[in-house]
Structure 1
């Protein structure tokens, strides 16, 4: 008689050693007393398709997907959730019955969870047009933004993203003056990250009710967030998105809600 297999999941990327996901998921597993695990799996780009198709044979409940694989994994999947289809990228793969592989995108929940109220019924300013920006675009639509303005270096990519959203708004060049009625500013670029150039944005036109959300979490206090606080604006840091998207993946992998009442303790662990 075989013993039941403990629930095990993980994260794939190239490179992957920097990922904080194992710390987050193991923290929650421990708090809930679940006998399971979560590990990193380095997968080179040329092996992504084979790795994903082999997931049912590994016994894994699924994997999170980080750069550079969020688009590449889609060809090996059997289905996409509505959220993943809306984003056009996958960051979570779940192994279901009979080995069926379904792609999800929990990044949208990672944005709408802490920032949905700032988006609803108001224009959103999205900075960037890459992978994280795809999720932010879907979040704008899901949370009911009244318009979407995209500021990016690649005007063609920004225009395509705006068209995909179906929202009114427009495309801005980096450094342009933002509209004056923005509800949420979301930085979906690497600007401001350790080792990267700073993000220069004129916050002067924003109303006092605007919220500034930076997906960067290294450093946690980015120049953008510091400038927003100096301006008296509410801010949301990158750990809010990291933890929020992980909580949705945790639910999909382990069938339990992440114990978010321990977020303060988890944040302290993540910034050590």
Structure 2
């Protein structure tokens, strides 16, 4: 996708684009990554505007966007929980170094023996066991499960039960859409009607 237009610096750094803006007049076609603005915007609306430490579950494209977003919030230390440490290092280590984030690695599906962190972001589509989700929720003040195909996920439920900030893939999806609307039309859209419609559709 990055080759279809003029990719933004962010999309090039992440090696990932999800939004194509058609050429207009003298302006070339553009490729952007709105995962980052979607994550940052959703966290900001929930009151999370700065952080220094985080846990990230997964090591794919969304995990790369999550790491970028967390660095923008001020995170300098992150624990990556992934099925394969080698794959996680290959995907995230170079990006983390450029962002100034120190990484440690653990195993996905296990509760790490770690200090509490400011934010936890899960980017894995496979459901977490209830006990694991509850253990992870106890390690943080804000849990963001970036998937929505199993909503509410075990992590969603655990975060609510723990009384911490809880965000889901719907919050990310709407956050992406807000930025895409701006890119396509130049207009700003409030998040509330989109969030209400999306959550109503999920029942």
TM-score of the superposed pair, with normalisation by structure 1? 0.64
- Cα shift at 1:267: 3.0
Alignment pair present for 1:168 and 2:102: yes
Q: Secondary structure at the match of 2:136?
A: coil
Q: Secondary structure at the match of 2:115?
A: coil
Q: Which residue number in structure 2 is paired with residue 180 of structure 1?
A: 115
Q: Which residue number in structure 2 is paired with residue 248 of structure 1?
A: 179
Contact in 2 for aligned 1:119/1:183 (Cα 8 Å)? no
Matches within 5 A, 1:152-163: 152-160=82-90, 161-163=92-94
- Cα shift at 1:198: 4.4
Matches within 5 A, 1:179-258: 179-192=114-127, 198=129, 200-201=132-133, 202-203=135-136, 206-207=139-140, 210-258=141-189
Alignment pair present for 1:124 and 2:59: no
Contact in 1 for aligned 2:137/2:158 (Cα 8 Å)? no
Alpha-carbon spacing, 1:178–1:224, altered in 2? closer, same or farther (3 Å): farther
Counterpart Cα distance in 2 of 1:267 and 1:173: 32
Render the CA deviation track for 1:146-168: whole Å, top value 9, x for unaligned: 21211101212212303312211
5+ residue gaps, structure 2, are: none
Counterpart Cα distance in 2 of 1:224 and 1:205: 11
- Cα shift at 1:259: 3.2
Matches within 5 A, 1:46-195: 73-77=1-5, 79-96=6-23, 97-98=25-26, 100-116=28-44, 118=48, 120-160=50-90, 161-166=92-97, 167-174=101-108, 175-177=110-112, 179-192=114-127
- Cα shift at 1:264: 4.9
TM-score of the superposed pair, with normalisation by structure 2? 0.84
Q: Secondary structure at the match of 1:203?
A: helix
Q: Secondary structure at the match of 1:93?
A: strand
Alpha-carbon spacing, 1:119–1:146, altered in 2? closer, same or farther (3 Å): farther
Alpha-carbon spacing, 1:152–1:95, altered in 2? closer, same or farther (3 Å): same
Counterpart Cα distance in 1 of 2:7 and 2:32: 6
The total of aligned residue pairs comes to 193
Backbone CA RMSD of aligned residues: 2.3
5+ residue gaps, structure 1, are: 1-72
Larger RCO (CA under 8 A, 6+ residues apart):
2
4+ runs deviating over 4 angstroms: none
Contact in 2 for aligned 1:89/1:131 (Cα 8 Å)? yes
In terms of fraction of residues, the more helix-rich structure is 2
